[in-house]
Amino acid sequence: MATSTHTVTNQPPPLVAYDVFTADRALAEAVERHLDPAVRAVARRELAELGRAAGSAQAQRWAVQADTNPPVLRTHDRHGNRIDEVDFHPAWHRLLGRAVASGLTNAWGRPGGHVRRAAGFLVWSQAEAGHGCPVSMTHAAVPALRVDPEFAAEWEPRLTSGVYAQGLRPAAEKPGVLFGMGMTEKQGGSDVRAITTRAVPLAGAGEYELTGHKWFCSAPMSDAFLVLAQAPGG
Ligand SMILES: Cc1cc2nc3c(=O)[nH]c(=O)nc-3n(C[C@H](O)[C@H](O)[C@H](O)COP(=O)(O)OP(=O)(O)OC[C@H]3O[C@@H](n4cnc5c(N)ncnc54)[C@H](O)[C@@H]3O)c2cc1C
């Protein structure tokens, strides 16, 4: 049986069960300042709710579980078929699900959407930072998609649906999708113009064949990827 040897008196109590948003005076004031009065009250309520969730014991537990159970790549199923699925701990999915349901991939087209998303991201990523990566990339892919209106019409509704649909299946069958990014190369990080991946146009309109070597792909379970490459026009 363990016996008590001494009393620890020099540690602060655990920071838990608090509202991450409301406790952040600078962030709360910035939201007041930058949001249109018409959406301010709703946004404040939503952000405080997310803030309480981010500061909860539950979210802290999910974070520990997600970070101490790293993703596992399953290259094949038990019958030998190649699947390349990445298995994550359920806590990872719960964190992602809450992020997506809270509008963190859905800034575009919502009144005050960018202020709400930015503040919400600052709040929720304090629960766990890693899953913020796919959330952020999904949000950030929208302007690039909009370069091709047909493509945007197909993908944007699923990307901004606020629904997290985990699992490996065709994107067309999913009510919500995540976007990853393949930009960085060994010689091209901050300086993305230094990338050497080539995009060669194919016969089909808007289709390219990509040849190159990417260096980081943090969210390989994403449903689609924004991949940066040099096309004939640059
Ligand atoms: C956890 C993690 C996940 C990532 N996930 C992805 C992903 O999913 N997809 C993807 O495409 N990439 C991803 N990246 C890569 C990321 O985008 C690059 O790391 C980033 O662009 C910086 O590039 P670099 O690492 O080559 O650093 P470098 O560009 O080589 O920078 C090195 C240092 O030089 C400084 N520096 C660079 N340029 C200048 C300048 N002009 N003037 C002054 N200082 C400068 C930088 O501040 C830095 O301190 C990820 C990185 C991390 C750490």
Q: Which residues line ligand 1 (CB under 6 A)?
A: 133, 180-184, 189-190, 216-219
160-200 pLDDT, tens digit per residue, is 999 999 998 999 999 999 999 999 999 999 999 999 999 99
51-95 pLDDT, tens digit per residue, is 999 999 999 999 999 999 999 999 999 999 999 999 999 999 999
In the numeric block, the tokens 């302007």 are attached to 143
* Structure tokens that stand for 190 in this block: 């901050």
**Which of the four pLDDT bands, split at 50, 70 and 90, describes residue 1?**
low
Q: Tell the burial category of 7 from Cβ atoms under 10 Å away from its Cβ (0-12, 13-18, 19+).
A: exposed
CB crowding 179-198: b at 16 or more within 10 Å, else e: bbbbbbbeebeeeeeebebe
Testing ligand 1's pocket by substitution, the residue of 184, 185, 192, 225 carrying the most ligand atoms inside 8 A of its CB is 184
Cα–Cα dist 102/110, whole Å? 13
Q: What is the pTM of this model?
A: 0.92
Report which protein residue has its CA nearest ligand 1's atom 51. Answer: 216
